[in-house]
Amino acid sequence: MLKLLKTHFGYDTFRPLQKEIIDTVLAGKDTLVLMPTGGGKSLCFQLPALALPGITLVVSPLIALMKDQVDALCANGISAAFLNSSLSPREQLDVMSRARAREIKILYVAPERIGSFGFYDFLVDLNVSLLAIDEAHCISEWGHDFRPEYRNLASLRMKIPQTPVIALTATATPYVRDDILSQLNIRKEGVFTSGFNRENLHYHVRPKLNTFARLVELMEEHKGESVIVYCFSRKNTEDVAEKLTKAGFRSASYHAGLPQKERERVQEQFIRDEVPIIVATIAFGMGIDKPDVRLVVHMDLPKTIEGYYQETGRAGRDGLPSECVLYYSYADRRKQEFFINQIEDDHEQKLAIRKLDDMVEYCQNIVCRRFFLLMYFGEKDVPTFCNACDNCVKPDVEEEDATEIAQKILSAILKTGERFGSAHVCDVLRGSKKKRIVELGHNHLSVHGIASDIPIGALRTYIESLKTLGYIAQNEGEYPTLNVTQKGRLALMDKSVITLPAVDVVKEVKQSARSSKSDLAYDVRVFEKLRALRKEIADAQNVPPFIIFGDRTLHEMAFYLPSTLEKMSTLFGVGDKKLEAFGEPFLACVMDSVREFDLQENDKPRGAKSPLTRSSSGVSTTLQETKELLIQKLSIEEMAVQRGLSPGTIIQHIEKLVYAEDGLDIAHLKPAESEFHEMKKGFERNRHATLTSVFKQFNEKYSYDELRLARLFL
C-alpha cells in the first residue's frame, strides 16, 4: 500500500488513522470515517480501490467535485469516471460500457442515480468491491444538509449485501453519527474519528463596523491568493463583488439565481486561478476541491455551526495556514429567523432555532473558538486554549473612557422599561421618529436623541462590549430584550468610570503564521516562477492548476531546489506518474532560477518527512517561567506578582501547560471543596461546558478566572 501511495499520490507516509481505516476496508469490514476537511478522507477509499479486484462505487452529492476528483485521479494514473446529469446520454452510455468492460477502477455517481430506472441492472453487470458514501451526514434528517435521495442508500446496501461500505463525513454531531450508523447498518466498532480539529485554520469573529473597509484591508493582506467571501443574499454578493472590483480586486459573484452556464464559468475561473476572489451565497463551494483557499470570510451570520464549519473548511485544505473571519452583529439573527419562521413543520422549526442559538453563542462567547467547535461536535479532552483564534490571541485593544456613552445606553434601556432589544434602544438614542417609537411615546423620553452623533454600528459595538463585561444582559427568550444587571445599576448610581474597547480604531488580530504560508523559508521568487509554469501546463491540459502540483509541493521545490529528477521524487506530492509527466519542465524551471538568482541547493535530510502545519503544543519561554513557579507550589496570586502578570493570564498559562504535559501537579491550586463541588455541578448541567454559560448560571457568583481554574480539575 505504501508503494501505491507513493506511486500514485506522491506521499511517503499515511496521515493519522488512514492506515487503520484502509486495513479495515481491505479486510471487508464496514466503516464510518469522521475526519475534518483536508484530513485525507478520499484516500481512505481511493487507495484500497487500487488493491481490490473489482470497481469502487462512490456516491457523492457534489457534481462539480466529481469532475475535479476524477481529473486528479486520472492525473495520478488511476482509471476513474463519473456518472451524473452533466454528461450527455451518449457520454453516459460510454462510461457505463467502460465500467462493464472493467476499464474503470473508481466510478462516482450522484445519489439520484441510485433510484433511477435500470441502475440496479447496471450494478449486476459490475463487480462492486467497495461502496463509498461521501458526505454521509446527508442521510440523516438531523443533519444540517439532509438529502431525501440519500435514503435510497439503505436499499442499495440490500442489493449488494456482500459489498463492504465506507461512509465518510466531516460534519456530524454525535446524534447524526448514530443516525448514519443506524441507516447504513454499520457496527459502532467500525467508527474511526480523527477529530474535527483543523489546526491550520485561524478563527476570528469581528464586530460589524465599517465592514467593507475592514474587508478591503483583509484583501490587501491576501492579495493574489484565493479567497471566498460568503454573503446572506444574492443581491449582497453582487454588491460586494462590484465594490471589491472598483477597489481594485478582481472578483466575481456566484449565487443560485445566475444561469447555470454563468455559474460554471465563474467556478471554472476561480479553480483555474483566473479570478482570485469569489463573493457567494452558500450555493458556492460544496463542489469545490480547491486546496489553496487562504481566506474564507462570512459577511453575515451562518444559520448553523455545521454549515459554518463546512464553509470555513474550504480554507487551507492543503494544510497550510489560512484564515476564517466572521463579521457578526446580533441583528443578523433576525434575518435568519425570518426564514426559519417560514418552516411549517414545528419540530423542524424548533431544531433550526436551536441550531441558530448555538451559532449565536459561538459568536458571543469569549472562550477559545476552536474549543467551542470541537466540544459542539462531541470531542472530549479538548484544550481550552489554541493560540490561533481571536479569543486566545488577544489583540492589543485600544481602550477608551466610555463612561458617558455607557451611561446613556444603560439609561435608555432602563427608561424604555427593559422590554426592547438593541435595535430599538439604538433608535431611541439616535432620535429616530419611527412609527413604533412615536406610538410608544419614546420620542418624549429624556434619552431620545442623546447619542444622535454616534453611528449605529458604533452604538451596537458599545452594547456588545457592555454585555461582554456584564453591565447589561440579554434575555434568551423569543424576543431578545436587554436588561441592566446589578453591576450596571451600581455603575450608573455611583457614576463609576467604564472603560471599553475603542470603536473608532478597530484593531485586528495579526497571526504570526500570516507572515509565512509554510514552515519552509522558501524563495518567493522561485515559487512565483513555478506557479506561473504550473498555470501554463494546467491551461494546456485543460485542468485546474492544483491538479498538476499543490502549493506545498511548490514550496518544497522553491526551498530544496532539487538538481535532479531523483531528488525531486523525494518531495511531498511528487509521485512516479507526476514525475514522469511534469518532472522535466519543473526541474528546468528550478535550475533556471538557481542560475538567475544565484541560489544554493538545500539537501533534504534523509528520511525526513514533508513538513505539515506547525504544532502549537511546544512550551514557550513565558510558559516555562510560569511552570518553574508552579513546580515551587506558589499560589496564583504569588505567581502573578512574581511574573508581573494578571492572575487570569497565569491561569491561561497553567491551562496550556496542563494540556501540553502529562502529570503536571497542580493539586495545590484546587478550589475549596464546597465551591469546587458547586462549580462542577454547573459545568455538568451545561451542554457545551462554556465559561460564559456557567458564569451566567451562577449570576456572577464566581469569576471567569475561578471557573477557568476549576475546569482544569474536571
Residues in a beta bridge with 325: 204, 297
How many other CB atoms sit within 10 Å of the CB of residue 465?
23
Query: How is 55-81 classified by DSSP, letter by letter?
Result: EEEEE-S-HHHHHHHHHHHHHTT--EE
pLDDT > 70 in the chain, percent = 89
Band (397; pLDDT cuts 50, 70, 90)? low
Q: Which three cell numbers stand for residue 501?
A: 474597547
How many other CB atoms sit within 10 Å of the CB of residue 42?
20
- For 475-486, write each residue's pLDDT tens digit: 765 567 899 999
3-state secondary structure of 654: helix
pLDDT greater than 60 at residue 240: yes
pLDDT greater than 60 at residue 600: yes
Least confident of 43-47, 151-155, 284-288: 284-288
Among the ranges 49-63, 403-417, 489-503, 505-519, which has the highest mean pLDDT value?
403-417
Q: In one letter, which amino acid is 254?
A: Y
Q: What number is the average pLDDT over the span 582-608?
A: 81
Angle at 294 between CA 355 and CA 603, to 5 degrees: 135
Instruction: Say how far apart CA 225 and CA 611 lie, in whole Å.
Output: 21
pLDDT of amino acid 689: 46
pLDDT of amino acid 15: 80
On whether the CB atoms of residues 492 and 410 are closer than 8 A, the answer is yes
Q: Which three cell numbers stand for residue 46?
A: 481511493
Instruction: Say how far apart CA 5 and CA 142 lie, in whole Å.
Output: 36
How distant is the alpha carbon of residue 301 from its chain centre?
Answer: 14
Phi, psi for 369 (deg, rounded to 5) = -60, -45
Q: What number is the average pLDDT over the span 495-516?
A: 54
Least confident of 429-443, 553-567, 646-660: 646-660
Nearest Cα to 145, choosing from 315, 314, 341, 311? 311
Query: How is 366-381 classified by DSSP, letter by letter?
Result: -S-HHHHHHHHTT--S
Q: What number is the average pLDDT over the span 381-395?
A: 80
Phi, psi for 203 (deg, rounded to 5) = -95, 135
Name 206's Cβ contacts closer than 8 Å, sequence gap at least 6.
214, 325, 326, 327, 328, 390, 506, 508
Q: What number is the average pLDDT over the span 109-116?
A: 85
Q: What number is the average pLDDT over the span 209-215?
A: 84
pLDDT of amino acid 29: 92
pLDDT greater than 90 at residue 324: yes
pLDDT greater than 80 at residue 627: yes
Helix (H), strand (E) at residue 328: strand 322-328
DSSP state of 102: T
- For 332-376, write each residue's pLDDT tens digit: 888 888 888 888 888 888 888 888 888 988 988 878 899 999 888
Sign of CA dihedral 167, 168, 169, 172: positive
| Cα end-to-end span (Å), the chain | 42
Least confident of 285-294, 491-500, 612-621, 641-650: 612-621
Average pLDDT of the chain to the nearest whole number: 83
Instruction: Say how far apart CA 462 and CA 464 lie, in whole Å.
Output: 5
pLDDT greater than 60 at residue 396: no
Q: What does pTM read for this prediction?
A: 0.58
Instruction: Say how far apart CA 645 and CA 636 lie, in whole Å.
Output: 10
pLDDT of amino acid 622: 67
Q: What number is the average pLDDT over the span 617-628?
A: 65
Q: In one letter, which amino acid is 618?
A: G
How many other CB atoms sit within 10 Å of the CB of residue 202?
28
pLDDT of amino acid 284: 67
In residues, how long is the chain?
Answer: 714
Q: What number is the average pLDDT over the span 110-136?
A: 87
Name 216's Cβ contacts closer than 8 Å, sequence gap at least 6.
244, 247, 249
pLDDT of amino acid 411: 95
Instruction: Say how far apart CA 174 and CA 379 lie, in whole Å.
Output: 9
pLDDT greater than 90 at residue 58: yes
Domains of the chain: 2-193 (3.40.50.300), 201-376 (3.40.50.300), 399-501 (1.10.10.10), 518-597 (1.10.150.80), 621-711 (1.10.10.1390)
pLDDT of amino acid 693: 64
Q: In one letter, which amino acid is 480?
A: P
- Print the SS3 string covering 245-299: HHCCCCEEEECCCCCHHHHHHHHHHHHCCCCCEEEECCCCCCCCCCCCEEEEEEC
pLDDT of amino acid 654: 84
3-state secondary structure of 324: strand
Nearest Cα to 107, choosing from 86, 90, 128, 89? 128
Residues in a beta bridge with 191: 32
Instruction: Say how far apart CA 241 and CA 253 lie, in whole Å.
Output: 6
Name 452's Cβ contacts closer than 8 Å, sequence gap at least 6.
429, 430, 431
pLDDT > 90 in the chain, percent = 27
Between 488 and 522, name the one with better pLDDT.
488
DSSP state of 300: S
Q: How many CA atoms lie within 13 A of 551 on its CB side?
A: 23
Band (596; pLDDT cuts 50, 70, 90)? confident
pLDDT greater than 60 at residue 687: no
Q: Which three cell numbers stand for residue 61?
A: 452529492
- For 129-178, write each residue's pLDDT tens digit: 999 998 888 887 666 667 778 877 888 888 888 899 999 988 777 888 88
Q: What number is the average pLDDT over the span 9-17?
A: 82
Label residue 574 exposed, middle or buried (CB < 10 Å: 0-12, 13-18, 19+).
buried
Instruction: Say how far apart CA 697 and CA 691 lie, in whole Å.
Output: 10
Query: How is 202-236 classified by DSSP, letter by letter?
Result: EEEEEESSSHHHHHHHHHHHTTTSEEEEE-SSHHH
DSSP state of 6: I
